[in-house]
A = this chain, B = another copy of it.
Amino acid sequence: MGIDLKRKHEDGVSSEGTGYTAESSLRVLDMVPGQLYETIVVSWDESMGGNAAPIGVLCTGERSVTLYLYPGTHTLENILGNRIFTVNVTLDPLIFTEATLGELGHEMFSSHRGYLHLRGADAFFTAEVESVKKVVRTDSYGETEIHIVNAGIKEILRGEDFRMVLNRGIYAVIESLINYTRAGFMDPHDLMDRIREMNRVARKVGGPREREAMKMIIRELESKGFK
A residues lining the B interface (CB < 8 Å): 1, 3, 9-10, 30, 32, 38, 54, 91-94, 96-98, 100-101, 140-142, 163-164, 166, 168-171, 173-175, 177, 180-182, 185, 206-210, 212-213, 216-217, 220
A190 to chain B, nearest CB (A): 10
Query: Chain A: interface secondary structure?
Result: helix
- B170 & A97 in contact (Cβ 8 Å cutoff): no
Are the CB atoms of B213 and A173 closer together than 8 Å? no
B30, B93, B170: the one within 8 Å of A213 (CB): B93
Determine if B163 and A30 form an interchain contact, defined as CB atoms under 8 angstroms apart.
Answer: yes
Report how far A170 CA is from B90 CA in the complex, Å: 11
Asked if B32 contacts A209 (CB within 8 A), the reply is no
Q: Is the CB of B166 within 8 A of A93?
A: no
Contact yes or no, B212 A3, CB < 8 A: yes
